[in-house]
Amino acid sequence: MAYVIFKYVAGVMERIVEQNLLYDFYGELLNDHQKKIYEDAIYNDLSLSEIADEYGISRQGVHDLIKRVTKTLDGYEAKLHLIQKFLETKDKVSKIDSLVDDYMESQDISDIHEIKKLSNEILEEF
């Protein structure tokens, strides 16, 4: 039972991180009203009732707007893949950093070749 709960919590946390990344990358493409409500729900952790009271709309209206914004942000990523590219590049830079550490210890020239290969992949992507 504890494993099931842990897996559920991990999935919820993963989605929260994903929502934050989506908003960080694509949030500026939303209108001000969408941004304010989405930020209140996701970043400020306000309830639907609190948001509805603040903006003078129904709880259902808040819920629908959050779902619509989430779908919109997911759609931007599906078309542009900026987060995917960012995460892949971040992973490659991390590998380069590790290879530099390895090279400094061993002076193995193959580490330099791998660094060159990874850096070229990054440059080709952009």
User: Is the alpha carbon torsion for 93, 86, 21, 14 positive or negative?
Assistant: negative
pLDDT, one tens digit per residue, over 38-92 is 999 999 999 999 999 999 999 999 999 999 999 999 999 999 999 999 999 999 9
Specify whether 49 is located in the same domain as 108: no
Quote the domain boundaries for residue 88.
Answer: 84-125
Total domains in the chain come to 2
Confidence of residue 4 (pLDDT cuts 50, 70, 90): low
| pTM score of the predicted model | 0.77
Specify whether 94 is located in the same domain as 57: no
- Of 44, 64, 80, which closes a domain? 80
Specify whether 20 is located in the same domain as 50: yes
pLDDT, one tens digit per residue, over 12-44 is 778 888 999 999 999 999 999 999 999 999 999
Specify whether 64 is located in the same domain as 92: no
**Among 114, 31, 7, 23, residue whose Cα is nearest residue 73:** 23
- What is the domain-level CATH number for residue 46? 1.10.10.10
Which amino acid is located at 94 in the chain? Answer: S
Specify whether 27 is located in the same domain as 53: yes
Specify whether 18 is located in the same domain as 67: yes
